Amino acid sequence: MRTVYHYVNGETFEGTSGNTQPVLNPSTGKEQAAVALANKADVDSVIAESAKAQPGWAALNPQKRVRIIMEWIRLIHENMDELATQLSLEHGKTFPDAKGDVLRGVDVLEFALGAPHQLKGEYSSEVGTGIDTYSLRQPLGVVAGITPFNFPAMIPLWKAGPALAAGNAFVLKPSERDPSVPVRLAELFIEAGGPAGVLNVVHGGKEAVDAILDSDTIKAVGFVGSTPIAQYIYERCAATGKRAQCFGGAKNHAIVLPDADIDATADAIVGAAFGSAGERCMALSVVVPVGQDTADRLRDAILAKIPELKVGHCLDPEADYGPLVTAEARDRVHRLIAEGVEAGATLLADGRELDMSDKTFNEDSLADGFYSGPSFFDNVTADMSVYSEEIFGPVLVMVRAETLEEAVSYPNDHVYGNGVAIFTQNGGAARDFCKNVQVGMVGVNVPIPVPIAYHTFGGWKASGFGDLNQHGPDSFRFYTKTKTVTSRWPSDDSAGPQFTMPVM
């Protein structure tokens, strides 16, 4: 049985705890590896090694740093199939979806190649007689990322890329459910010419997380996961004087106006709701059609498409989506479906009925995999748990609204504010919606409005804690501190000591 160890100073580090956790293949339910779990002493030693490596890395000029990142990008592309296959086998998402996971991370590495420009300061001459003022952006030192299972390549790269380009050392604590790809990415960074110790990977649970949060050396923490943990990390970082960038749960809505192209909208919603088994923070899980006729037409169009979806092994080229990551994740989804039925919602498609007992792929039985078919509710109300909670599974709920104002009230009043979309051909309605909806990321006829790498990604309300968001210019602001210098070179006509506040 293979063991995934920590990766420190460019080599495998077994750690001292001796504790491991199984790494499962969600498609079959079988254990395929074990991952080493760090204790506090292990994490402290990893952070110490990062602190030793960081000054030399920061001393490289930004162009030299991004040349290494450029080679890192090339190596990721060269090893793409290997990375995507391993990601699929540990997470459960399909191979094409896994490639997308890696590529959206590479997008941010490509943006990070602009570090020489992003790190430029500002200069003002003659702000006073013989006085100049300028600013410069400097790295924080050692920073950390605590990243989720659902994007084991993209989110680590979103955080590590700008942090490294800015001159920081980066300690990555990825999910222990799918740890192999983060380690492989760190190996490729070293192969690209990255100095040992600048990018380290340590695995573990709460003890490892708390060791990062309590470290005096760590200056900033980026996190993606559930809202309770995001708030816990944000508050603990505040208590220890760290910067924090913490992203939590979501309940993304799609508003559908009567003039929308119903068939195209249904296609968009089905893909966004059920892709990756719904295990995306940007999954579209609530659809709010305006008007009963719109709702009935959209309901029928979605119902016509659901039977066409194929759920299967992550490497099956015919599968639209694969299993959930664990049996516990699947069972939670099924519990929430049962709660929706009990609350009075109309269950039009029941994913709990999916039977994989006689299914195989390449002679592997899928009977013990963590599968759930697509589920679709109608007549859902805001007081039901299937509406209020992030299900994080292949479940779509429909909430009916009579007016656009009523429809917009649903995302505006929800505790989460991550992503939202509107489907319409009315430019004025879309423009007003974009201005008035209280959500961080908005799509107009785009079901999953994940911004491109040179714009910022982040939700509002309980979906995000902290002002500066992931990727885009915000990432360089988050991973650097601004120093402002006011200078005057003395002349022969010194005026002597001054005892009042200087006036420029």
The answer to whether the CB of 50 falls within 8 A of the CB of 142 is: yes
What is the radius of gyration, based on Cα positions, of the chain?
25
Q: Buried b / exposed e across 139-163, counting CB within 10 Å, b at 16+?
A: bbbbbbbbbbbbbbbbbbbbbbbbb
CA angle 252, 100, 473 (to 5 degrees): 70
The answer to whether the CB of 453 falls within 8 A of the CB of 464 is: no
Report strand pairing: 131-139 vs 123-128. Answer: antiparallel
Tokens standing for residue 503: 């006036």
Helix and strand numbers (H, E) in the chain are: 16, 25
Identify the residue whose tokens are 């917009």.
Answer: 408
State the virtual CA torsion across 8, 11, 16, 17 in degrees, nearest 10: 70
Q: Which residues pair with 23 in a beta bridge?
A: 33
Phi, psi of 59 (to 5 degrees): -75, -20
Q: Which residues does 51 contact at the CB level (< 8 Å), separation at least 6?
A: 141, 142, 169, 217
On the 0-12 / 13-18 / 19+ scale of CB atoms within 10 A, 81 is exposed
Identify the residue whose tokens are 């504010």.
Answer: 417
On the 0-12 / 13-18 / 19+ scale of CB atoms within 10 A, 39 is middle
* Alpha carbons 20 and 17: distance in angstroms, whole number: 9
> Mind telling me the catalytic residues?
281
SS3 396: strand
Annotate 136-169 with DSSP letters as a single string.
Answer: EEEE-SEEEEE--SS-TTHHHHHHHHHHHHTT-E
